[in-house]
Structure 1
Amino acid sequence: MSLANDFESFCNSKNFELSDEMDTTIKEITKKLNSKYYDLSSEEKDHMYIVGSMGRMTAVKSSSDLDLLFDLPNSLFSKYDSYESNGQSELLQNVKEILKERYPKTFIKGDGQVVVIEFTKYTVELVPAFKQSNGRFKYPDTHNGGSWKYTDPLSEQKECMESSKKSSGAFVNFCHIIREWKNNEGFKFGGLLIDTFVFNYLNSCTFEDDYSFDNYLEIFKSILDYVGKLDKNQSYWYALGSNQKIFNNSKGNFVSKAKKTLKQIQDAENNEDDMNNVLREILGNDFPKSESSEFLTEESLAFKKAYDNTEEFIEDVFPVDIRYSLQIDCRISQNGFRTFWLRKFPNMYIGIKKELRFSVTSTDCRDYDVFWKVRNVGNEAIRRNCIRGQIVKGNNQKIEHSQFNGNHYVECYLVKNEVCVARARIDVPISTLFN
């Protein structure tokens, strides 16, 4: 298969479809709120909007956030607006208590701007709002004593639809590709910001656009180049369609990630097989493997049979939807030697017989389960039949010991409601020459 076919197959596999379970949840919530606020006993559709990435049709298959907006009767606005202090909080709490009647055993909280309902495999974030004559919505913000703010998701959805038609579907496909890159690399990159950057790049092209899959690698490189040249310290960007501000809550980490990834691609451009392998490293194992890379000679087949392939991949265990940041480090110690942290010396080889204490050093995620993967790499790992790579549940620390040569690595995953929401990796180069 060519790279064009690989991209086409990959993109076709990423289209999001609302599950029956999610669809039922939306209908249940809509029916409950319509009964309370509109005295409608069985209405399961009116006044509810699917918003966020799912509403814009740019979510990928592994997405686990279901963003909803419920249009409240305008007559209720004056009631909560007239509170002496934070009527916005009272509104969220009122919606929360109504939904608790429907889901008494489910964790529900009302905070900030949304009511959050945490189901087993996905999370609903519901915004109660009031539709305005211009199509925008006024919604509550409980911070700093309470205030009303505006959002315009319908304009964003319209812009996404028009951009997708104009680009023969490339807009949605590249929104999916950038999300998969983000999920595989393991860094925060908001969905609306992704959609806006893809839109801005495609909208800035002045040449005769070629949106065929034959041109996808060039478009991907150009989008990475565009993102890599952004100012990582910029405070905010304006969203497509609505022009609302999207604040830079991740310190522009996507800028350096884009530069690094673009260089990976450029370094592999002379060989299509190398490019396929690099794209699998960048976008994950769902990107099709080239036929030539799967071809094995008798010698390579014998080499492959010399060890048990025990490696597991997180996307085969849990859906991956990176929404939080995560950093891990490794404290290296040995009796009689100075203790040091690996990230302070990233190019240093580690000797054998040392204790390696891996730990979660920072994350903005709460209430999570921790899983670890230790992967041994190199001829010595194969000779010993010890490549490992299994994904194992643990806690915030994991202790290992350096035993033999190889450019090994350790990955950590945070899982919340059966979804991997954060991931991080640290390379562990070991050599007996540095004992």
Structure 2
Amino acid sequence: MLAESFEEFVESLELDNQDDIDKKFRSITKRLNMSYYDGSTSEEDHGYKVGSLGRQTAIRGISDMDMLFVLPPSKYEQYEKHEGNGQSALLQDVKKELRKRYSNEKIIVRGDGQVVVITFSNYEVEVCPAFENDDGSFTYPDSNEGGKWRRTDPLVEIGESEYMIDHTHNHFKYICQMIRAWKNNIGFKMGGLLIDTLVHRFFRKYPAYVTATYEDYLPLFKDLFTYLKEQNKEQNYWRALGSRQPVYDKHKTFISKAKKAYNKIKDLTEESEEVYEKLQEVFGIKFPVPETVAKAEFSSYAYLSTAAATEQFIEHKFKVDIRYSLKIECEVSAKGFREGLLRTYIRTKKPLLLARTLRFYIEKNEFKERHKDIPLPFDIYWKVRNRGEEAIKRNCIRGQIKKGTTQIEESTSFMGGHFVECYIVSNGVCIARDRIDVPIFETPFAMKIKP
């Protein structure tokens, strides 16, 4: 039964917009061929899907397509000799050519100065102009710090991913996709290439899982989260699958998140009463729960009562593709006087008393910071969820997702284990999220919006 849930979950992660992605790719490739190859109308020549889509590890809800377009060698000579920042000039020229096809879409050179971004109604396409090298790698422009050229080797990474997918009978792909689902559910930033690289290294370290089936997924993820949580926090980069290029992760947030995930599932067996509850906590609300389980053991977790009808889930309202960091904080005050941060209360086990005001606010929004030069629109949503017997008795579990501003104010009322979540939504996609748990059981506590 658990194996069937894993299989159903994997199937739910498959892309649902592949046809539209392919159509956009062909259209962009054709336009650039017309511009740079004497009016060629080819929809395939010189264009490559790269990134997670190229490696076949992308999941439903992906909010960007990475593509590489190979320019003629003569263009490299032109921009290398360009007076000033030739790399910036190249990106601006590609942007100008794309406007001939996409006059109604927003087209920008992204803040990192390496790609041209076309924003469509449901996702973005990041076009990286490049030049092919003799060894099959590519040189691409970086317009930062006066301009320079960089090297990338995505086709070797794609080839190694394709080999592993075949070698593991697709399970390498499925595991990479489930790690993306975990990342999106928990709400932290982790690059797709790093995910695929670490899963690739995991299979190399644990060759027995090469022949894994869905029946092996629970022990596999116990070992995988163990492997992730034991990565060296001092390590600056990992060598990418296939290309061996360095893959950086400045904050290495995945290590602490993997430790929490491991602790949730380490003692589980297929027969555990809370196995589906814990797997949903790790992978998200869409992890399938068999109907028989939902009606019996799972009902207490899901609070299947009339009160539960108020709870909403971000996954049901928007696509979720976490690509940016978000951090929220909570300030505790009484009668207008600040007492401290909620995280400090929890860490020091200081009791949180009644009649306290809680001000939840955004401390860091990476999406806004990354796009400060060319601001992009986004919306902020909040969710306040009361949990526990008292919340159910009072029919006050709440859990609605509401559009808001950079802060909300709550007040303590009754005890239970509660939480507040915040979401950043841009272009119809939730691209950042954060959560503060309020696990107060000894002290009467809950959140209730002031009238």
Give the TM-score range, shorter chain.
over 0.9
Matches within 5 A, 1:301-380: 304-305=304-305, 307-335=307-335, 338-346=338-346, 347-366=349-368, 367=376, 368-380=378-390
Partner residue of 1:254?
254
Partner residue of 1:78?
77
Partner SS state of residue 332, structure 2: strand
Cα pair 2:76 2:131 within 8 Å, conserved: yes
Q: C-alpha distance in 2, partners of 1:195/1:208? A: 16
Q: C-alpha distance in 1, partners of 2:414/2:243? A: 56
Comparing 169-178 with 217-226, greater Cα deviation is found at: 217-226
The question of 1:201 aligning with 2:202 is answered: yes
Matches within 5 A, 1:78-157: 78-111=77-110, 112-157=113-158
Which residue identity is paired with 2:151?
A: Y
Cα pair 1:231 1:252 within 8 Å, conserved: no
Which residue identity is paired with 1:317?
A: K
TM-score (ref. length: structure 2): 0.90
Partner residue of 1:169?
170
Which residue identity is paired with 1:200?
A: R
Q: What is the root-mean-square deviation of aligned Cα atoms in Å?
A: 2.2
Give unmatched runs, 5+ long, in structure 1: none
Matches within 5 A, 1:275-314: 275-296=275-296, 304-305=304-305, 307-314=307-314
Which residue identity is paired with 1:259?
A: K
Q: C-alpha distance in 2, partners of 1:226/1:334? A: 44
Partner SS state of residue 382, structure 2: strand
1:423 Cα shift? 0.7
The question of 1:60 aligning with 2:36 is answered: no
The question of 1:408 aligning with 2:409 is answered: no
1:41 Cα shift? 4.9
* Cα distance change on mapping 1:308 and 1:202 into 2, 3 Å: closer
1:270 Cα shift? 8.0
Which residue identity is paired with 1:374?
A: V
Comparing 264-273 with 8-17, greater Cα deviation is found at: 264-273
1:80-112 CA distance string (max 9 Å, x none): 011243211110010011112322232221241
Q: C-alpha distance in 2, partners of 1:164/1:98? A: 37
* Cα distance change on mapping 1:263 and 1:62 into 2, 3 Å: same
1:9-62 CA distance string (max 9 Å, x none): 111221225444333322221121111111235322211111100011000111
Q: C-alpha distance in 2, partners of 1:216/1:330? A: 37
1:207 Cα shift? 4.2
Give unmatched runs, 5+ long, in structure 2: 369-375, 446-451
* Cα distance change on mapping 1:200 and 1:263 into 2, 3 Å: same
Q: C-alpha distance in 1, partners of 2:55/2:16? A: 13
TM-score (ref. length: structure 1): 0.93
Aligned length: 431
Partner SS state of residue 391, structure 1: strand
Comparing 267-276 with 355-364, greater Cα deviation is found at: 267-276
1:264 Cα shift? 1.0
Partner residue of 1:422?
432
1:219 Cα shift? 1.4
1:221 Cα shift? 1.4
Runs of 4+, deviation exceeding 6 Å: none
1:245 Cα shift? 1.1
Partner residue of 1:238?
239
Q: C-alpha distance in 1, partners of 2:173/2:252? A: 23
Which residue identity is paired with 1:214?
A: E
Q: C-alpha distance in 2, partners of 1:291/1:130? A: 54
1:239 Cα shift? 0.4
Q: C-alpha distance in 2, partners of 1:304/1:11? A: 26
1:313 Cα shift? 0.4
Q: C-alpha distance in 2, partners of 1:208/1:278? A: 22
Cα pair 2:330 2:358 within 8 Å, conserved: yes
